Amino acid sequence: MVVNMGIRLLSGNSPDMLREAWAPVACAYSCALATCVLSGVYATVIFTLTKMYSMTVIGNYKDAQFAEFFQETQKYREAGFWAFCASLGSFAFAFVTFFLLKIRGWPGITGFTLGVAIAVKAMLDFRGIYRRAGNILR
């Protein structure tokens, strides 16, 4: 879903809009969209493969092998989680930057600043939830 939103946000602007924008803003926007899409694809692949193989093992009544597989894939699932968080965070940044690109002047700057503050708060909260979940699951 996040990947789709990133792609739609990319297609929602014209190349002229980016060329006319201040270069650092256009670059930050482009990098955020690339991060959104690529990290979202990574997370999707990791979780899809993990689920597919888990369901296959469980479906074949191989509980011991499932426990082993689950343990051995922990680092990949953690990387997938962080990639998902990066995808969400970069989408949020791209969204507020798009707002800045579309609405010029103080209204755009104000919306961008408020949006970045909310996105940073959300990412810090995601990190806190992850830490608490990690303590429970270990």
Q: Say which residues have a Cβ less than 8 Å from residue 111's Cβ, sequence separation at least 6.
A: 96, 99, 100, 103
pLDDT at 122 over 80: yes
115, 99 contact by CB (below 8 A): yes
Highest mean pLDDT, choosing among 44-48, 97-101, 127-131: 44-48
CA 35/CA 55 separation, integer angstroms: 30
Among residues 42, 30, 29, the alpha carbon closest in space to that of 2 is found at: 42
The token pair that represents 24 in the structure block: 């650092």
pLDDT (tens digit per residue) in 11-51:
777 777 777 878 888 889 889 999 999 999 999 999 999 99
pLDDT of residue 2: 74
Average pLDDT over residues 100-127: 88
pLDDT of residue 138: 56
pLDDT of residue 44: 93
Number of CB atoms found within 10 A of residue 117's CB: 11
- Backbone Cα Rg of the chain: 19
